[in-house]
Structure 1
Amino acid sequence: MRSWFITGANRGIGLEIARSALTAGDRVVAASRKPEDAAAALGGSGDRLLAVPLDVTNADQAQEAVKAAVAAFGRIDVLVNNAGFAQIGPFEAISHEQIQRQFDTNVFGTFHVTRAALPILRAQRSGHIFTISSLVGLVGFGNSSLYCATKFALEGWSESIGQELAEFGIKVTLLEPGQFRTDFLDQTSVKFSGLGIDDYKAGSEAHKAALAGFNHHQQGDPSKIGKVILAILDAEETPVRVAVGSDALATLQARGDTFHAQADAWRALSLSTDFPSA
């Protein structure tokens, strides 16, 4: 029986991952700002579920949540960094406070939780860290530059710590979900730019309307993401990143093709900066 620690577990993807882990017979620490919602949604799991309060932007609270997890279950086998939100709007029209909040949650929040859990995983000489990135961590999108920036940051961080932690038996994987049918684009989750700049108004309003029309019609089924994690846990090889959803897979493949094409197109110029071969 594995012990999971999942952030943002009271709704959306985090909740569905928790549900899949419990269905598999494992134990789950469901950490979120509204633990009562997680407990209500995941009721019937008995002593295999522990719902704990966690605002990931609070480093001290992350430490306390991890301590509670170890006190209840003795270990952490699977850490899922899921908590986050999307700050939408053109870069110039997003306030400093909004930028700070976006990074505090998506990036530094992930760092807080992982730093709290790593001493436990190292002592065990085992564990698997999953960080929920996005297809916007693979390719940039206009009107989403800050959200993309946080996911790009998590991409480099996760890939790097995977190399640092391998000697301790700790595995690290990025999940790259595409568009999934959750409340992620609801007004309670997504945030829009707060600075009114006329030059961006038409484009911003069109993008906002497009998101509203797309909301709750996404192709991805969030109840299936937990099964992806379970399959990776049982796999012989540990992937650095896995696309989740047909749109994410297409994005990942196209990104690779673009890198190859641009490298070939600029090959001569790239090579021109080396010292001549002896």
Structure 2
Amino acid sequence: MNNVWFITGSARGLGRSLTEAVLAHGDRVAATARHPEQLADLVARHGAQVLPLALDVTHPAQITAAVAAAVAHFGRLDVVVNNAGFGITGAAEAYTDEQVRSQLETNLYAPIAITRAVLPYLRRQRSGHILQISSVGGRVGNAGVSVYQAAKFGLGGFSEALAKEVAPLGIRVTSVEPGGFRTDWAGASMTFAPAIEGYDLVAQRAEFFASGNFVPVGDPAKGAQVLINLVAHPHPPVHLVLGSEAAAMLRQADADRQAEFEQWLPVTLSTDHDEADAGNFLQTAMGQSLLAEQQNARGAE
């Protein structure tokens, strides 16, 4: 049976590449966009295989309506892709309140809201796969994109916890964490905070993005095919990094974190209460739960 996908941000970027690839694969798509008329060419080519839906992901009522419409039309949802989002560059103190709010509303609150809206349907089905399109910037912090990465770090943590929560219901969750892909993320979709004196590194990053000279290594068509293959995998990962650039960044960040952790481990351990017995940790309810999760993970490998 072909899958039914629900994809946000289907009109441009990775969302557009994924929507086109899914339709070419023969699956059905509830394709959402703020301006669904931008999907008219897909309807002309694929007919009833695609359902265009108007959705501004920052409007809760539209989320509820779009999810309900997709289920009413197709009868089920198999894959939910939280893709809609945009980037912003600037120093942390330079962002306006509205810029901070819009980043968190679009890149963090919206995917959480959409996830919560689809979960009742997936829970009743006892099946489904939620793909959260995050970023390697949700695992590695970089100057100039602090608020964007705050949202992506939050999305990654939400997704990791959610994956454990819904696994017994037959629902899978993957945080997809690309490096740079050849979309308009750093082009037309990028916004900027006002410049502030003293932040030279941030200014250099902003100028680089604005120049149009940033040419990422990632191919959105290849990324889309990976995601189609991913949902067919019997044991998909909770975190999936995409792109050689992202892999290199994450390796270095993990090594730096491990070195820092080991350096400060004596201080970490010094805060235990004198009467505490670390050996009894696994006897606690949380310890038993963590042990069970580790055993389940090993069994799935």
State whether TM-score is above 0.5. yes
Task: Provide the C-alpha distance between the structure 1 equivalents of 2:247 and 2:262, rounded to a whole number of angstroms.
Answer: 23
1:14-44 deviation line (CA, Å, top 9, x unaligned): 0111111111110011111021112325641
User: What residue is the counterpart of 2:197 in the other structure?
Assistant: 198
Task: Provide the C-alpha distance between the structure 2 equivalents of 1:67 and 1:115, rounded to a whole number of angstroms.
Answer: 13
Higher-Rg member (1/2)? 2
Structure 1's 224 and 42: CA in aligned 2 closer, same or farther, altered over 3 A? farther
How far residue 89 of structure 1 moved from its aligned partner, in angstroms, is 0.5
Task: Provide the C-alpha distance between the structure 2 equivalents of 1:41 and 1:213, rounded to a whole number of angstroms.
Answer: 32
Any residues of structure 2 matched to 1:87-236 within 5 Å, and which?
Answer: 87-186=88-187, 188-194=188-194, 197-200=196-199, 203-213=201-211, 215=213, 217-236=215-234
Identity between Structure 1 and Structure 2 (%): 42
Task: Provide the C-alpha distance between the structure 1 equivalents of 2:15 and 2:179, rounded to a whole number of angstroms.
Answer: 15
Structure 1's 98 and 30: CA in aligned 2 closer, same or farther, altered over 3 A? same
Task: Provide the C-alpha distance between the structure 1 equivalents of 2:13 and 2:42, rounded to a whole number of angstroms.
Answer: 11
How far residue 206 of structure 1 moved from its aligned partner, in angstroms, is 2.5
Task: Provide the C-alpha distance between the structure 2 equivalents of 1:43 and 1:98, rounded to a whole number of angstroms.
Answer: 37
User: What residue is the counterpart of 2:295 in the other structure?
Assistant: none
Structure 1's 268 and 214: CA in aligned 2 closer, same or farther, altered over 3 A? farther
Of 258, 263, 266, the residue aligned with 2:264 is: 266
How far residue 236 of structure 1 moved from its aligned partner, in angstroms, is 2.3
Which sections of structure 2, spanning at least 5 residues, go unmatched?
278-301
The code of the aligned residue for 1:212 comes to A
1:181 and 1:216 in contact (8 A); partners too: no
Which sections of structure 1, spanning at least 5 residues, go unmatched?
none
The code of the aligned residue for 1:87 comes to I
1:133 and 1:155 in contact (8 A); partners too: yes
Task: Provide the C-alpha distance between the structure 1 equivalents of 2:33 and 2:213, rounded to a whole number of angstroms.
Answer: 23
The code of the aligned residue for 1:240 comes to V
The code of the aligned residue for 2:51 comes to L
Task: Provide the C-alpha distance between the structure 2 equivalents of 1:113 and 1:215, rounded to a whole number of angstroms.
Answer: 34
1:10 and 1:41 in contact (8 A); partners too: no
How far residue 215 of structure 1 moved from its aligned partner, in angstroms, is 4.8
TM-score where L is the length of structure 1: 0.93
1:15 and 1:38 in contact (8 A); partners too: no
Structure 1's 256 and 57: CA in aligned 2 closer, same or farther, altered over 3 A? same
1:138 and 1:251 in contact (8 A); partners too: no
How far residue 204 of structure 1 moved from its aligned partner, in angstroms, is 4.5
1:130 and 1:174 in contact (8 A); partners too: yes
